[in-house]
Amino acid sequence: MFNPDFESMPVTKLKELQLERLKWSVRHAYENNAVYKRKFDAAGFHPDQLKSLDDLRRVPFLTKHEMREASPFGLFAKPMKDVVRLHSSSGTTGNATVVGYTRQDLDTWATLIARCLSACGATEEDIVQVAYGYGLFTGGLGLHYGVEKLGATAVPISGGNTDRQLMLIRDYGTTMLACTPSYAINMIDFAAKQMPDFDFKKSKLRRAIFGAEPWTEAMRKEIETRMGIDAYDIYGLSEVMGPGVSNECSAKQGLHVFEDHFLVEIIDPETGEVLPEGSLGEIVYTSLTKEACPVIRYRSRDITRLYRDVCSCGRTHIKMDKVTGRSDDMLIIRGVNVFPSQIETILMEIEGVEPHYQIIVDRKGTMDDIEVMVEVEEAIFSDELKVMNALRDRITNRFRSVLGISAKVTLAEPSSIARSQGKAQRVIDKRK
């Protein structure tokens, strides 16, 4: 552990620390930000009324729409002279969500990333190749400073330049890779087709930390088998901090949420009702230590569940399941709720299918239709028609029996679906 005193703190002590920090965070937001003051006053809530962790339920939620409306600096609780860095979302679906960091915020963030790397088994002896995008996206710089905080060696290559990525893995003796899981698959395919002399299993690469998009256990197995590594899940949101909100440990049985810095709740995404531990729902975040841009009850739209167990790693912080998808990314096909991750799980279980796919949703008249385009292995695509038809029927039947939907399945030739150097575009919704 990077911070054993905090990461293995007894739960009763942890909750005491949370309450102490929650009182500070809520008051800090109320007294230093006009948006929060108006929200709290309108809800009839004052920080003095916060006596227990359960009292947080009296505080109104913060939504992404509100963050966008306040863009760029409307949710800051520190003057700009104290803000030393800005990050933001892409803003492709509206105003960009802008977040700021004080020097203390950046040190906290780097410490959390160092915890994540340590949880994966990394040490100061590791050489970590950071292939997340740098710039306004939080992934690249977030991982970079965490690597340095741990004392390991950072290789700041950013995303893209796949041939150079592979050369550096070989020449620098990279031991750990940080990128999106879809880009890892891209690297594997590129090496197989463009650099046949390159062999991941003969390199010094031993582990990877993947995040920025949902990925399934089937995808983990695919990457670990083909790269010969251990793959770990890192999770975060730019609105909350960036990567480093939670991370898998060596047990790979859920992600530990760093509760000394974040208070988490699970709510019903339709009603906003707080659900008990173990329930599947939308995860809500309250920052406990952020100075520049505190978030109080931020609705993430990410779907998961929270639970506590006795983990073999010794950490006591609550766990969250891998995110299955976002409530606003959920597809409703003829009355059936479907997440892209569910479709991926089915595809990855079928022999002959490659881990590259796209989901196209359209509306014909009043009915929604779904098409799943998936690449197949070269040998199958060039095989006789009956083999292709049999594979298509197998996929179609699995969708019907497991998900309860009828989908058009299109088998595509290898390398025909566009590759991503960052987050993969899995869904094309033509209804919008």
Please write the tens of the pLDDT for every residue from 9-31: 999 999 999 999 999 999 999 99
Query: Helix H segments across 161-281?
Result: 162-171, 181-194, 217-227
Q: Give the C-alpha distances (Å, rounded to integers) separating 113 from 138, 150, 423.
A: 12, 8, 20
Q: Which amino acid is at 380?
A: I
> Is-contact 223 208, C-beta < 8 A?
yes
Topology of the domain comprising 1-326: Rossmann fold (3.40.50)
> Is-contact 28 335, C-beta < 8 A?
no
pTM: 0.83
Query: Which residues of the chain fall short of a pLDDT of 70?
Result: 90-94, 328, 332, 334-335, 365-367, 421, 432
pLDDT at residue 93 in the model? 47
Q: What is the mean pLDDT of the chain?
A: 92
Query: Residue 13 burial by CB count (10 A; 0-12/13-18/19+): exposed, middle or buried?
Result: exposed
- Using alpha carbons only, what angle is made at residue 201 by residues 375 and 377, rounded to the nearest 5 degrees? 15
**In the chain, where does the domain assigned CATH 3.40.50.12780 lie?**
1-326
* 101 phi and psi angles, rounded to 5 deg: -135, 135
**In the chain, where does the domain assigned CATH 3.30.300.30 lie?**
331-429
Query: Residue 379 burial by CB count (10 A; 0-12/13-18/19+): exposed, middle or buried?
Result: exposed
- Residues 378-400 have pLDDT tens digits of 888 877 788 888 999 999 999 98
pLDDT at residue 92 in the model? 44
The C-alpha atoms of residue 375 and residue 352 are separated, in whole angstroms, by 9
- Residues 285-322 have pLDDT tens digits of 999 999 999 999 999 999 999 999 999 999 999 999 99
pLDDT at residue 429 in the model? 80
pLDDT at residue 325 in the model? 75
pLDDT at residue 90 in the model? 60
Longest Cα–Cα distance of the chain, Å, equals 73
In CATH, what number does 331-429 get?
Answer: 3.30.300.30
DSSP code per residue over 252-295: -SSEEE-TTTEEEEEE-TTT-PBPPTT-EEEEEEEESS-SSS--
> Is-contact 115 131, C-beta < 8 A?
no
DSSP 56: G
Among candidates 291, 318, 327, 293, which has minimal Cα distance to 53?
318
The C-alpha atoms of residue 399 and residue 180 are separated, in whole angstroms, by 26
Q: Which amino acid is at 23?
A: K
